[in-house]
Chain A
């Protein structure tokens, strides 16, 4: 990759990614409203919310909470840049995990019992989705012989062809990652509150705005993870990302919230089992894409 291409891709992440993420968030709210038989907010509503939050007073409970949120957004952006530069997928997941741990620490540091329960539930959900991400990386390594995403450019078939069960597992954990029903127990979305606002109870004004902004990056990042399943073909990759996004929204609207025990049980048996079967198949047949 030439220097100019690297600079172009970094600028793409810094400027275009939040716009796409904001658009995703707007479509999410509009589509959810349509599915519930409402008119719904304007498409630009997430942007209006962000602008309003940034112009409000910042009430701080613990001065470190802002520092942790800063870590959260920085590491989200870094992991997205690494994804766009087609670097080591294992490393990208590690950097992404640091961002999520920073968010959990931020919620823990505020001291409100609601955000504490939310933070511990988020830690449990990490326990549920991290193994699947690792299986995804292992599957990619077995097929291409490298952790680097750039290796996929030379592959003669898309990953989804040999990792269909891992793809289903990833679809499942995307509901956890997008913090959507049935797994929206760590930070309740609006209109169905259980823990007041879960992890984000004690964040206000600009800090909450930055969290929203980081979420837009996160939407793009998660879509990027699904894009890699068909990386050779841009259109098919985009279709996979969009399919995941709409799948998550529709599941969000047709299911009720479940308990974290249920999530842990299902992910560690059925979903991990699916991934293991897929990896075992690759191991026994010794399939190579490169």
Chain B
């Protein structure tokens, strides 16, 4: 990993009606066993200081406003990682009457981490890829 942005990707965790499986795996990334902080990853509470939004759960009609509000509060450049089958495509809930079928229906998703639920190693790889995308977005911002 190189560049200004990718050396300290701070994440904000957004739970859209997840069953908590993915959330537990995401928090496992921060525990001593996996220790995401060695890559500079910090789970930050406020979206205003975050670079990457990690979204879990089947996004539904009720959570549209909350997701958009949180996403718009993040300063540019920003990236979104959809963690778990539900956030990627709706998962087993995809044909529910209220489920939209994936987080990418309302916000642009950069990295998809599939699995039900994905392993912490996979989530960390997704975050690392999103950090690389942040660097590219930063370059694009400079050019503008």
Which residues of A are in contact with B by a Cβ distance under 8 Å? 29, 33, 36-42, 45, 48-49, 51-53, 55-59, 114, 188, 190-191, 193, 196-197, 200-205, 208
Once A39-B35, A41-B37 are accepted as A-B contacts, the answer to whether A59 and B75 lie under 8 Å apart by CB is: yes
Q: Chain A residues with Cβ under 8 A from B46's Cβ?
A: 114, 196-197, 200-202
Taking the closest CB of chain B, its distance from the CB of A55, in whole angstroms, is: 5
Q: Is the CB of B38 within 8 A of A40?
A: yes
Q: Is the CB of B75 within 8 A of A190?
A: no
Q: Is the CB of A40 within 8 A of B49?
A: no
Check B8 for interface membership: any CB of A closer than 8 A.
yes
Once A48-B8, A51-B4 are accepted as A-B contacts, the answer to whether A33 and B76 lie under 8 Å apart by CB is: no
Q: Is the CB of B42 within 8 A of A190?
A: yes
Q: Chain B residues with Cβ under 8 A from A203's Cβ?
A: 48-49
Q: Is the CB of B138 within 8 A of A55?
A: yes
Q: Is the CB of B35 within 8 A of A191?
A: no
Interface range on chain B: under 10, 10 to 19, 20 to 34, or 35 or more? 20 to 34
B48 partner, pick from A36, A41, A55, A204, beta carbons under 8 A: A204
Check B73 for interface membership: any CB of A closer than 8 A.
yes
Q: Chain B residues with Cβ under 8 A from A55's Cβ?
A: 4-5, 138
- Closest chain B residue, CB of each to CB of A55: B4
Which residues of B are in contact with A by a Cβ distance under 8 Å? 4-5, 7-8, 30, 32, 35, 37-40, 42-46, 48-49, 51, 73, 75-77, 138
Q: Is the CB of A201 within 8 A of B8?
A: no
Q: Chain A residues with Cβ under 8 A from B76's Cβ?
A: 56-57
Taking the closest CB of chain B, its distance from the CB of A106, in whole angstroms, is: 14
Q: Is the CB of A191 within 8 A of B43?
A: yes
- Closest chain A residue, CB of each to CB of B34: A38
9 shortest interchain CB distances as A-B pairs: A57-B75, A204-B48, A196-B45, A48-B7, A193-B45, A38-B35, A57-B76, A37-B32, A49-B8
Q: List 18 A-B contacts (CB under 8 A).
A: A29-B37, A36-B32, A37-B32, A38-B35, A38-B37, A41-B37, A41-B40, A42-B38, A52-B4, A57-B77, A58-B75, A59-B75, A190-B44, A197-B44, A197-B49, A202-B46, A204-B49, A204-B75
Q: Chain B residues with Cβ under 8 A from A38's Cβ?
A: 32, 35, 37-38
Taking the closest CB of chain A, its distance from the CB of B130, in whole angstroms, is: 14
Please measure, in the bound complex, the distance between the C-alpha atom of A205 and the C-alpha atom of B138, giving whole angstroms.
Answer: 13
Q: Is the CB of A202 within 8 A of B48?
A: yes
Once A55-B5, A57-B75 are accepted as A-B contacts, the answer to whether A201 and B35 lie under 8 Å apart by CB is: no
Q: Chain B residues with Cβ under 8 A from A37's Cβ?
A: 32
Taking the closest CB of chain B, its distance from the CB of A122, in whole angstroms, is: 17
Please measure, in the bound complex, the distance between the C-alpha atom of A104 and the C-alpha atom of B78, giving whole angstroms.
Answer: 29
A48 partner, pick from B40, B49, B75, beta carbons under 8 A: B40
Please measure, in the bound complex, the distance between the C-alpha atom of A29 and the C-alpha atom of B8, giving whole angstroms.
Answer: 14
Q: Is the CB of B42 within 8 A of A191?
A: yes
Once A197-B46, A201-B48 are accepted as A-B contacts, the answer to whether A45 and B35 lie under 8 Å apart by CB is: no
A191 partner, pick from B30, B51, B73, B75, beta carbons under 8 A: B30
Please measure, in the bound complex, the distance between the C-alpha atom of A42 and the C-alpha atom of B49, giving whole angstroms.
Answer: 20
Q: Is the CB of A59 within 8 A of B48?
A: yes
Once A48-B7, A196-B46, A202-B48 are accepted as A-B contacts, the answer to whether A59 and B73 lie under 8 Å apart by CB is: yes
